[in-house]
Structure 1
Amino acid sequence: MIKLGDYNKMTVVKEVDFGIYLDGGDEGEILMPKRYVPEGTKPGDELNVFIYLDQDERPVATTETPLCKVGDFAYLEVSWVNEYGAFLNWGLMKDLFCPFREQKKRMQKGESYIVHVHIDPESYRIVASAKVEKYFAERHPFYNHGQEVDLLVWQKTEMGFKVIIDNCYPGLVYEGQVFRYLHTGDRVKGYIGTVRPDGKIDVTLQPTGRQQTLDFADTLLQYLKEHGGKCDLGDKSDAEDIKRRFQVSKKVFKRAVGDLYRQRLISITPDGLTLN
């Protein structure tokens, strides 16, 4: 079975003037246009290719790397709009279609949106939807506290930032736990805070508990080594200054300073911190 909108390992069947044909099994032979064929390719070679539909809705192969594939959530820019919907740049020759019915608000050329990529069951076309809530996993999430996950920043709210966790679940990073600039479409590492009985997930951007302190202690030590053994911030410094400099809370900063001080790696002075 060919996986449409995904990567497939396929065998070269024959060469022609305008490209090569690959063995598509029940789908028949699938063309890869000449401009995508790796130099030296010959019949019998196996290639890892991405399969999508050309302008005539026929399967076509490419060695280009798209920005996303079927089943992914992604942040894509609108290339153009017509009377049927918007067309998004996903890194391939043919843009990705998002019909008006799958838009929360009318998409504008040049703007970018979080969408879900899937195969439309009626037309068998690869399409996008901005109504991403419909495509989250329905199974209950099973994560451990502190587990590292991949996040896609979805949207800013009064409480913080909505995120998409591991391309499956919605989550929330609370405003008070954001110590760096975040924008819609950013892909960052996160850490599971709480999974509630209703399946809602709270996430942090820093390791939780003791590990967070240890990680930042290493960061602070490296900072001192790179800045002449001096740091003008200390226990009495303003929390916003610490956040701006190191993207951590004052609580974590003080714990890390305490750790380094007890190890006699630093001295605490009225002017800040000094590397021993």
Structure 2
Amino acid sequence: MIAIGQYNDLRIINKTETGLILTDGEKEVVMPYTDVPKNAEIGENINVFVFMNKDGRLHGTTKRPLACVGDFAFLTVVDEAEDGGAFMDIGIGKDVYVPKREQKRPMFKGDKHVVYVFLDESNDRMLASSKLVNYVEEEDFDLEEGDEVSLLIVDRSDLGYNAIIDNKYIGLLYTNELFDELNPGEERKGWIKKIRVEGKIDLSLQPMGYGHILETKDVILADLKDSGGVISLGDKSSPEDIYHRFKISKSAFKKAIGGLYKDRLITVSDDEIRLFVDDQAD
């Protein structure tokens, strides 16, 4: 069965004046010659993205869309409809329509939004929605605290930045734990900080747990050796200065240098750390 809005392996069964005819054995798909790879022959299989064209026929393309059905993606509005809907560029010469009812806020030409792409089962056409909370999974999370995940930054809220997690869930990065400027549509690596009882997910841009502290200790030691044994960061250094150098929070930095100090590998002051030198050594 052909999956509309997805990639399909189809067999070439005929050539016409305008393009190839492909099939899965049940339905036929038209692929214009502009999208046909060189040396494509009848009887061969070809992997194509299939969509319902405005002529009501299934079309295939070898172009790679910016999103498939079931994906969250950062797309650009290329036109506005008279009924308040909007058309967004999906990268294949075929725009995806966002009905007015599916817009979190009005969309205008040139705007960019994170949207969810889905299939209108009444006519098999691809649609999109910026009302993301209606399409994320909100229970039975296949996640654990500490897991590394992929993030798609959505927008800013009063508490921080909302982000799509692994193309399935939605979570929050808190402003007071961020030291980088984030932008909608940006893709980041992140970690699950906490899964709350009510189903909310707290996120971090830094690894969680003691394993991260051990790794950070090694990074700081290597940096000290490369810097002549002294780094101008200490207990009183600002979170921004620490993050700029090591891409970690001040809390993680203090835990790491505390461990190094206990191991008698460094000395620590308010504004610097130094490799430990044993004055008793020969």
Q: Same fold (TM over 0.5)?
A: yes
Amino acid at match of 1:198: E
Q: After superposition, what is the alpha-carbon deviation per residue over 1:157-199, rounded to whole angstroms, capped at 9, x for unaligned?
A: 1211112222222211222222322111122122112222222
Match of 1:34 in 2: 33
Q: In the aligned structure 1, how far is the partner of 2:40 from the partner of 2:265?
A: 58
How far did 1:67 drift? 0.9
Q: In the aligned structure 2, how far is the partner of 1:114 from the partner of 1:215?
A: 34
In the alignment, structure 1 residue 74 sits paired with structure 2 residue 79: no
Q: Secondary structure at the match of 1:241?
A: helix
Match of 1:110 in 2: 110
Q: Say if 2:235 and 2:271, in contact at 8 Å, map to a contact too.
A: no
Match of 1:200 in 2: 200
Q: Tell me whether 249-258 or 44-53 shows the greater mean CA deviation.
A: 249-258
Q: TM-score, normalised by structure 2?
A: 0.85
Match of 1:168 in 2: 168
Q: Say if 1:146 and 1:192, in contact at 8 Å, map to a contact too.
A: yes
Match of 2:280 in 1: none
Q: Secondary structure at the match of 2:26?
A: helix
Q: In the aligned structure 2, how far is the partner of 1:267 from the partner of 1:58?
A: 72
Q: Secondary structure at the match of 2:70?
A: coil
Q: After superposition, what is the alpha-carbon deviation per residue over 1:129-156, rounded to whole angstroms, capped at 9, x for unaligned?
A: 1112111225432422201122221221
Q: In the aligned structure 1, how far is the partner of 2:45 from the partner of 2:263?
A: 57
- Cα separation, partners in 2 of 1:13 and 1:227, compared to 1, 3 Å: farther
> How much is the aligned-residue C-alpha RMSD, in angstroms?
2.6
Match of 1:45 in 2: 44
Q: Say if 1:171 and 1:201, in contact at 8 Å, map to a contact too.
A: yes
1:115-130 to 2 correspondences below 5 Å: 115-130=115-130
Structure 2: runs of 5+ lacking an equivalent: 277-282
How far did 1:226 drift? 6.7
Match of 1:240 in 2: 240
Q: Across the two proteins, how many residue pairs are aligned to each other?
A: 275
Q: Tell me whether 164-173 or 234-243 shows the greater mean CA deviation.
A: 234-243
Structure 1: runs of 5+ lacking an equivalent: none
Match of 1:60 in 2: 59
How far did 1:35 drift? 1.8
Match of 1:188 in 2: 188
Match of 2:213 in 1: 213
